Amino acid sequence: MDTDLRASTRRGTLSVVMWVFGLSTTLLLLGLWGRAVTVDEATIVESARAVVDAEVAQDRIYDWIGDAIAETQNVGSDEASAVIARLRNRPEIGAAIDVIVEQFVAALFAPEGGSTVVDIQEAVTPVLPVVVAELSAESVAVDEELLVAALGDASEIEFDTGGVAGVAAVVRDAKALVSRVVLFALASMVLSATAAVALAERRYAMVRTLSSRVLLSALSFAVLFKVGSWALDPERGGTPVASGGSIILASNGHIFIVIAVIAAAVGIAGGWVAWKRQRARLEAPIAESDLSDDDTKELVAV
């Protein structure tokens, strides 16, 4: 009766330990991936650039140019609409959009306690000769200086970062948080794995089991993050925020693959040792049986 109770208690304790190990594995995998993202400045900048929607910047440029055209003389609404329509295919517009987006991204990463200015006029000014040329194609003579003056209200946008944490500060805080999560998860994982091996009847087989769980978890996260990145892909009609999330999820997936490879190596080693020990246990009774037969034969001979 006592033996059954001890065995039942041992199985219950092992179940709890395995649950803690699984939770620790999840936290460790997510923490390692999150920390890799926080130190990957290129990915963060690319994600922020995707969030700053280029289409929004494009629409703002068209609005500013349209207002500027409307404020000049001798330009009707039909001529203005025709000019705006033709401008959408001009490379100068794309260059202006890129400049504005880059300035917005730089503003997001500005240090705290200062201000950043996005110079709209600097970005739009190279487009003005194109606007004048398009208006000339409509037989409308417009002075370029009038357009520059009309864009005065959109000359610059100032971002005050005195009381708002920038992206760099947020990333720094996130890095500190995930680093603590990684340390906690690693300690919990080591302790629970040690306890599981100590409670197991076949310890090397338990090492193989634990490694298999880490392997499957790592591969599962690699697949889930890849599917999540595909689901948020902006080409599928996603929003700018979803586009930024897609870039984040698609980055640093090698972390899961590396952990999976390490877990597979540990699991193979543990499985090989367990197989060798099991084979040795199976061969021992056979050897003893052969020895007994030899002794009996000697006795019979005597």
User: Which residue has better confidence, 172 or 35?
Assistant: 35
Residue 272's CB: how many other CB atoms inside 10 A?
A: 12
Task: Give pLDDT, residue 87.
Answer: 72
Contacts of 98-105 with C-beta under 8 Å, sequence gap 24+, read: 98/54, 99/123, 100/57, 100/60, 100/61, 101/49, 101/52, 101/54, 101/57, 102/49, 104/52, 104/57, 105/45, 105/48, 105/49, 105/52
pLDDT band at 299 (very low <50, low <70, confident <90, very high): very low
pLDDT band at 29 (very low <50, low <70, confident <90, very high): very high
Task: Give pLDDT, residue 139.
Answer: 65
Q: Tens of pLDDT along 248-297? A: 888 888 999 999 999 888 888 877 877 777 777 666 665 555 545 554 44
Find the range with the poorest average confidence among 26-30, 99-103, 292-296: 292-296
Task: Give pLDDT, residue 238.
Answer: 59
Q: Tens of pLDDT along 103-136? A: 777 776 666 655 666 666 677 777 777 777 776 7
What's this model's pTM, rounded to 2 decimal places?
Answer: 0.68
Residue 160, pLDDT above cutoff 60: no
Q: Tens of pLDDT along 182-237? A: 999 999 999 999 998 888 888 788 888 899 999 999 999 999 988 888 877 766 55
- Mean pLDDT of all residues in 142-168: 59
Distances 30 to 40, 177, 181, 222, 264 between C-alpha atoms, Å: 15, 12, 9, 11, 19
Task: Give pLDDT, residue 164.
Answer: 46
